[in-house]
Structure 1
Amino acid sequence: MLDLIGAVALLLWGLRMVKTGMLRAFGARLRRWIGSGTRNRFLAFGIGLLATIALQSSTATALLASSFAGMGYMGSMMAQAVMLGANVGTSIVTRLLALDLHFLAPLLIAGGVLAFSLSHSKPAKSLARVPLGLGFMLLSLQLLGHATEPMQHSKVLIALMQALDAVPLLAVVVAAVLAMAASSSLAVVLLAMSLTAGGTVTPTLGIAMVLGANLGGAVPPVLATFYHGAVALRVPLGNLLVRLVGCAAVLPLLDTFVDMLTNAGLRGVPLVVDAHVLFNVALAILMLPLLKPFSNLVSRLLPEADTADDGPQYLDPDNLGSPALALAGAARETLRIGDRVAGMIEANLDALLNNDTARCSGIAVLEDEVDRLNSAVKLYLAKLDRTALSERDAERSDEIISYATNLEHIGDIVDRNLRDLVQKKIRAQLSFSAEGASEIEELYGTTLSNLRLAQSILVSGDAQLARQLVEAKLGIRHLEEKSAANHIARLRNGLVQSVQTSPLHLDMLRDLKRINAHIAAIAYPILKSGGALRESRLIGSEEGEAVRSNS
């Protein structure tokens, strides 16, 4: 049993290495590729199939498809087609792993280790994880075969298998629970293959375990997207329903199904693995023509709830025919993004002053919300007919998108930089000097004040407020320079607290200055249109001559 547990753990780790390696090396391309599969169901099916073969994880494909559906980049019907392709893809991966390729395991592991050791860039190191993971998977299959051989002589295990064989439904449930726990149908199917090859389980019981693996493997994506909204949840839930219907249809005819495969000349390992492939291919053939009514059914089973506080509230699709109303709604939604960003900055300052790690974790939640709202605003405005917009409306749309994008960048700086700096301070139990803490707190307060000013400018478009914001940005630069100079002076005086926190202090000044640059960006188009902004702050040749003559 210990050998069996270790072999399964190695298999799961190999799967994880292949998946993470592919995502880190080609994640952005894979996302664009999957997102492009929205033109027809057959293309979406093919993309789901190929993406799953590359990732060796239908769960990863399911989460990507759910994410695209939740953000509106992919319709529910196309996302379901991607999932049908993912199911066939994972069964093809299982069939390839069932081939006797154990001799490749040491070569792949050695090659992966060598490539990882010689690689210096992150993409190259990520790619090196793929052959390493594949080698672990092939090695684990060899270990599974060795681990299951003694089981043929275990009276307890034989009695347990006979009990499961007598009640196929119980075997389906047990295999489903194992697949849920492992977050992988592939691992359980390969386990069933090894047990069948060793004679520990009968072909009928092996196929019952395959059905359970397919059912249980569809559950983790449902749990992972449970709080991501109804639209995103429909994708894995629909996939679970398809597999549930398939299992319910095959289970009463299990013996007939086994006889059919046996008469076709399949025995042992091919019987179990090919049953897995046939099951998913049959579901795809059945469901592809029925995707539209099926997607409508899933939508009725899981209707969109009333707009939650963390979702868009003012992006009414009915207003897209009226640019003025649509732009007003987008502006109101963008103000909500600004409020969330202000909340992130306030939480970061609170965590900094009170060494509160809980406030740090709350920042990540707000950042995810900012990303979702920003995507929703941009997608909403992209649906406006640009040919029907007046010049002013087109400029207004661009202003809103630009401001929303700058807010997202601010959120990224707070989440990835400032939050990390605060966590370093808390972990190392560091304290700023009283003067340093006061300077940083002042800079935070001024930043929040500038953000509130930018929110007002988005609504009013007031040129005087825009000028005030640009001047405030200059004030931030002076504050940053003054604080940096004071900090260097404290270092020269040997103040211990300043020495210990020097990198944190200077990095915080730099990041807050960057944030204010993004905040001030809302003012430039307004000042430029009013003729109050020069193209460049560089002194021209004539001005330079005047300066030199005066000096």
Structure 2
Amino acid sequence: MAIAGFLIEIFAATMLLLFAVRLVRTGIERRFGALFQSILTRHTNSFVAGGAGMVLATILQSSAAVAVLLTGFAAAGMVSFGMALAGVLGADLGSALVIQVLSYDLGWLQPALLALGGWLYLKSDRANVRLMGRIILGVAFILVSLQFLREAVDPIRESAFLPAIAGYLENDYFTAFIVGAVLAFVMHSSVATILMCVTLVQIGAIPFAAGLSLVLGANLGSAFIPIWLTRDLTISARRVPLANLLLRGSAALVMLIAVNVTNTHEALMIAGAGQSLIFAHIGFNLAVFLLATGFVNWLERPMTLLMPEPKAEANVMDQFTDVLTPLGDPSASGASVAMSSVRHELLQMVTQVERMFRPVLDIYEQDDGDAISALWEQDKKVNAQLTEIRRFVARMPRQNMSKAQVKSARELVEYAIRLEAAGDVVSNRMTRTAQIKHTERSEFSAQGWKELTDLHAEVLESFSLARHVLLVDDMDCARRLVLDKAEVKRMSRDSRKAHLKRLERGQTESFQSSDLHLETLRSMRDLHGHIAAIAYPILYKSGQVLETRLVMEMEKNATED
């Protein structure tokens, strides 16, 4: 019974730790997703890109999350292979630094973080404030879970059970390495796995040598996570996580053998056992980052030879590159390859519409005919992409496809139609509104303009979420997209009410720009609805949507659950 109770407590502490890490990561992704995209895609120097990946992984507490984001950007053509790989290597180092911060004894912070996070999450009507509460609660739960883990292990440290297992892992370092890799992959979090190992070493439950083998194995296992999460992407996109696995996995294996063959464990004990384990983990990832980042661009050709494009897929992708060229015969490639190609093109469409929408408010401020013409040209590309996707999917041989694949293909075409409509909102409705504003020499009030820019920033975040849903069918991001529709509607409604109050007070600017303000609100709300449409098929499949409502009743402010 003692062993059963111990296992239950360990499992409970582990689940709480995983939940806490995920709570923090998803909260930050949702709050700062658009900013992440800007940071990760604007660099051409590999060390700067690696530094950006390190910073974001430190914030997100997950190297796998950054790796998936960068793989998606690579699939959409927003970042090169070399810059994406450099960012992933930097992310590995960033997640190692997170462990150093979380390993400190911060138990005294638990009550304050729980109180503040709970108050922000439960009492605020603002989605962004609730997300900050979610992040703070996640950090508090991490501290609680680590304390729970220490208390669970403490009673059996002197028993025969734990020392026997610890001794076996110390003597068979390769088994410990495999156990660490499996744990990191199953838990889908290297941060949670290594924090658990560090905690066990700190309290003397396992020796330093066994902990080091486990940590090195966790480095290998965590490199498998983005490979698994991006397994449905194109070959060219999947080269990035595979290159990271080869670099990180081979380095971990070399260090494991070198340390154990030369028996240099004591040389690595430069502080307490737990702190030395953290230093070893940081040093390992720092060494990999410094040695490999300068050569990432050279690795693209070897990875292309290792993972060549299937001939059929290469033909499809080449034809998709130029949307004015008709696609080839879909029957020449397998259904999975064809579906992957359609998803790739949809990623390009999402990115294209985002590029149109991002600067649209600048056209409101400046009468720039060239900028408007550029938007019209971009919209023609989106229209051409839709035509090619519809033609390609219509020619896919249904006899070689499962019912699920046929349904998925139809859903992807429907989303392409929504993306084309989103492009029309920007190129037709919003540019026409901007032209009327300049013709009539109207001006928005200061508060009205702030409301529009805030709504613009909120809508921009939906593009990153949509790309992530396209990449990995992420349920949380799908729910967030649907819930954000309600937030966008709320912001639009509040702005409309505030605008009407300004009219009642007789503000001159509000009278002049009344129709323009209301039309812009409608345009941005409609555009967000088109972008968020990718979420519904995923939510329908899992029973999360009935008709048009989430199963879990949304509160009046319609923020996340």
**Global fold match (TM > 0.5):** yes
1:9 Cα deviation after fit: 0.9
Partner of 1:239: 244
Residues 312 and 376 of structure 1 are in contact (CA less than 8 Å); yes or no, is this contact kept in structure 2?
A: no
Partner of 2:307: 302
1:333 Cα deviation after fit: 5.8
1:406 Cα deviation after fit: 7.8
SS in 2 for 1:19: helix
Separation (CA, whole Å) in 1 of partners of 2:146 and 2:323: 58
Separation (CA, whole Å) in 1 of partners of 2:143 and 2:315: 44
Partner of 2:85: 80
Q: Which residue of 372, 395, 410 maps to 2:347?
A: 372
SS in 2 for 1:73: coil
Residues 25 and 124 of structure 1 are in contact (CA less than 8 Å); yes or no, is this contact kept in structure 2?
A: no
Partner of 1:30: 36
Q: Which has the higher contact order (CA 8 A, sep 6+)?
A: 2
Q: Which residue of 1, 10, 20 maps to 1:14?
A: 20
Separation (CA, whole Å) in 2 of partners of 1:66 and 1:27: 15
Partner of 1:44: 49
CA RMSD of aligned residues (A): 3.6
Cα 1:378/1:307, change in 2 over 3 Å: farther
Can you list the C-alpha shifts for 1:290-314, whole angstroms capped at 9, x where unaligned? 2233333222211222343995452
Cα 1:396/1:110, change in 2 over 3 Å: closer
Separation (CA, whole Å) in 2 of partners of 1:194 and 1:140: 11
Choose 213-222 or 289-298, whichever is displaced more.
Answer: 289-298
Partner of 1:249: 254
1:112 Cα deviation after fit: 0.5
SS in 1 for 2:313: coil
1:395 Cα deviation after fit: 11
Greater than 3 Å deviation, 4+ residue runs = 307-313, 364-370, 375-381, 393-399, 404-408
Residues 49 and 87 of structure 1 are in contact (CA less than 8 Å); yes or no, is this contact kept in structure 2?
A: yes
Separation (CA, whole Å) in 2 of partners of 1:252 and 1:167: 12
Matched, 1:185 2:190: yes
The one-letter code matched in structure 2 to 1:371 is L
Report matched runs for 1:524-543 at 5 Å.
none
Separation (CA, whole Å) in 2 of partners of 1:401 and 1:103: 57
1:229 Cα deviation after fit: 0.9
Matched, 1:288 2:293: yes
Residues 316 and 327 of structure 2 are in contact (CA less than 8 Å); yes or no, is this contact kept in structure 1?
A: no
Matched, 1:260 2:267: yes
Cα 1:106/1:41, change in 2 over 3 Å: same
Partner of 2:215: 210
Partner of 1:195: 200
1:8 Cα deviation after fit: 1.2
SS in 1 for 2:311: coil
Cα 1:146/1:333, change in 2 over 3 Å: same
The one-letter code matched in structure 1 to 2:324 is A
1:63 Cα deviation after fit: 0.4
Matched, 1:328 2:310: no
The one-letter code matched in structure 1 to 2:126 is S
Can you list the C-alpha shifts for 1:127-182, whole angstroms capped at 9, x where unaligned? 22110100000111111111121231231222122112111000000111111110
TM-score, reference length from structure 2: 0.59
Partner of 1:155: 160
Separation (CA, whole Å) in 2 of partners of 1:122 and 1:301: 45
Separation (CA, whole Å) in 1 of partners of 2:327 and 2:375: 18
Matched, 1:170 2:171: no
Partner of 2:8: 2
Structure 2: stretches of 5+ with no match in the other structure: 1-6, 331-338, 357-372, 391-413, 421-525, 531-561
Choose 284-293 or 180-189, whichever is displaced more.
Answer: 284-293
Residues 3 and 147 of structure 1 are in contact (CA less than 8 Å); yes or no, is this contact kept in structure 2?
A: yes
The one-letter code matched in structure 1 to 2:13 is A
Count, aligned residues: 364
Matched, 1:400 2:400: no
Can you list the C-alpha shifts for 1:276-335, whole angstroms capped at 9, x where unaligned? 11110011111122223333322221122234399545246xxxxxxxxx5732xx369x
Cα 1:252/1:125, change in 2 over 3 Å: same
Partner of 2:150: 145
TM-score, reference length from structure 1: 0.60
Residues 234 and 344 of structure 2 are in contact (CA less than 8 Å); yes or no, is this contact kept in structure 1?
A: no
The one-letter code matched in structure 2 to 1:205 is A
Indicate the structure (1 or 2) with the bigger Cα radius of gyration. Answer: 1
Separation (CA, whole Å) in 2 of partners of 1:394 and 1:91: 44
Can you list the C-alpha shifts for 1:54-82, whole angstroms capped at 9, x where unaligned? 11111110000000111111111111100
Cα 1:213/1:153, change in 2 over 3 Å: same
Cα 1:267/1:41, change in 2 over 3 Å: same
Separation (CA, whole Å) in 1 of partners of 2:374 and 2:98: 49
